[in-house]
Structure 1
């Protein structure tokens, strides 16, 4: 196994980084997220974006200099394969379902190669994760049936990574040739494409879809038998507030939504990197509803405490835009990177912290590694198809940072042409480092009683 750091030194680095980013020592007082991160290196990557940028800063992840010399753009910051999916443009107010980036919690102004490398590493670790599940090396929260499916090989992950780089470069060139292409979005796929059935699933969950009343975000979280409507009783996800706290949250958040807040709860146990941050779900719509047709007037809004974007611990000076408060920066980046951003997208200060307000889409559909790296006949093809779709979506998002010129697209495409092999090699090595890091975190945690 190729590693960057000797194990005892790396243990110390891991411990210090998690204390810094999570405010808890995994060796003495681990968070739930720390234990989840030991399930697999892929899960470790998802929960350790702060470590990722610390390693870039200390050159343990030595990204090619030429790829850092191109113009800055707004980046996702936590770009991995599980942070893309299907959703409706303009949030729950829209009807068009598209495929694109769906997580901007770590977004900021930075180097596009950050997103490229993190996504590429996630491809390699996703393939490793599915092989590890099949071989009993890794754990999953869900049971996986490996009958009648093939598992992506290490070579499949490699080919998907290279296809991702090539398609990203080609999309930049297409935008450079036709700048209006920035306003393109992927809203359809060929019949044989991996993503076609997931697109159909998302369309059916939209407000006009046949599964809206059973499969949409609204249907999954709200009890339609109640009048007025209320969130479902689910102790594992939702916590009811005291009357005093309910009114305090209601008063603070009401100005940021157009309709009434008919119910609200605290949301528990969501996410990996943001597992320990406060968040609330608001049910927004008319105070009274008459029949099922009125349900399309309701939607769920998330109010989420926003932590600092992970790259800014080391790269805040890259742009004055990064000086915006945590939630404001997320809103700014999401509005720039999306073609038609959510209509409910704002920030506020609550309980001494910055909170992000955003709509939870009715039609939200995400893919997990199992959906991408397991296939009845050709998991390598499904990985490449997914990687290429994400490459197009990411190039479009990056290009929207500067709509006046194509300097970024031209320079980045040229730099990738020269340094793609070097970038791929760096990503391979860091994927190996993450595999070791996952094992080291297991050693660092106290034994569960």
Structure 2
């Protein structure tokens, strides 16, 4: 079975293996979670012809793509990593970034809109579970998801058209939203967590992971996101990665339980900053740097010959894509070869904030909120794709033309594949067995 084969290839074990991997149990929460954890299956279906994009979209010049493009991989972040204070809305996960067809990102995002609608409807109906509370009992429908897909693609096309007329537009960013927009409250929340914001010392990424000690700021040993690193390994990590961190290393910890697609990937956190008295001034300069084992981007295995660029080692490719695709990339962004593996070195953004699908059910009009969300993602993604080639507007011209004729076909394809994903999810549940019962009914 393709599902079992692809999950085993990436995760090292099939879903019916015992004990069941924590990643596969998480994927059993809903079809949306399944989509998030199995990007390689999406590309397998494209490669084998189970999923066929319109030819007009495949004729568009290649560009740098997010790779694992879905609703939960957009969010608020501080530009320049933890060195900047400007909060923007943008793609926030480049682990599967590569050179490829932008239509891969467009289709995958639209599929996620349908599956988010399914997830929210399932929460209200009791088919799926969540630890987050919600009030609204009127979730978006698949018709609403189709409307959100339309808004997403129209805003994407419009943003590309603006870049054709004025190339400076590709370096603009979404950093404010009007009153009544779904993302207005979240951006205010993110801004309060940035350096200088009123909640920086309590709610920022670094604040949630650290505590003040007599020796200075250190990782909080009671955090459920971090695990202690043995002294010998901590010393080796400092020796290998210290030169890339641009400051004193205050502490080292292992990150646990992060994400879904990369849940089984090893990663470490470094607390970096002035080795001085723990006061407000030194805390502002203290930040977290992530060291993450980097795997081959999902698209490459099934499309190995798309571009020579994709022959870079996995960490180098991620660094290269992130530097090109972000308006102001992290100042700490590098790659290191250690212990026979390629590792990505990058800042953790002070104000990193992701809007969870359940948050849509906290609004008066979830369907409108979903459309607001999709429209903002369309604008941000268009600018991100456009930065793949700053020498011309060939990509932008070709894609605006292709979407004019292929937009409705792409939405219909996304809806169909969302249905297929629900069927694949049902097969996953059978393989995971009783272990999935805690997440799905």
What is the distance in 1 between the residues matched to 2:132 and 2:168? 45
The 1:137/1:226 distance shift into structure 2, 3 A limit, reads farther
Aligned to 2:211: 223
Pairwise mapping of residues 119-158 of structure 1 onto structure 2 (< 5 A)?
A: 119-140=109-130, 142-146=131-135, 148=136, 150-158=138-146
Normalised to the residue count of structure 1, the TM-score between the two structures is 0.95
Unaligned runs of at least 5 residues, structure 2: 437-441
Unaligned runs of at least 5 residues, structure 1: 1-11
Aligned residues: 435
Aligned to 1:360: 348
> Alpha-carbon deviations, 1:327-353, whole Å to 9, x = none?
000000011001110101111012111
What is the distance in 2 between the residues matched to 1:151 and 1:290? 47
Pairwise mapping of residues 260-279 of structure 1 onto structure 2 (< 5 A)?
A: 260-279=248-267
What is the distance in 1 between the residues matched to 2:435 and 2:156? 44
What is the distance in 2 between the residues matched to 1:442 and 1:382? 30
SS at match of 2:305: helix
Aligned to 2:39: 49
Among residues 428, 431, 438, which one is paired with 1:441 in the alignment?
Answer: 428
**Post-superposition offset of 1:234:** 3.2
Pairwise mapping of residues 22-421 of structure 1 onto structure 2 (< 5 A)?
A: 22-29=11-18, 30-140=20-130, 142-146=131-135, 148=136, 150-234=138-222, 236-372=224-360, 374-421=361-408
Query: Contact conserved, 2:80 with 2:328, CA < 8 A, in 1?
Result: yes
> Alpha-carbon deviations, 1:126-170, whole Å to 9, x = none?
111011011110122x13233x55321222111101111111111
What is the distance in 2 between the residues matched to 1:145 and 1:186? 27
**Post-superposition offset of 1:227:** 2.4
What is the distance in 1 between the residues matched to 2:30 and 2:58? 30
What is the distance in 2 between the residues matched to 1:193 and 1:447? 41
**Post-superposition offset of 1:226:** 4.8
SS at match of 2:383: helix
What root-mean-square deviation, in Å, do the aligned CA atoms of Structure 1 and Structure 2 show?
Answer: 1.3
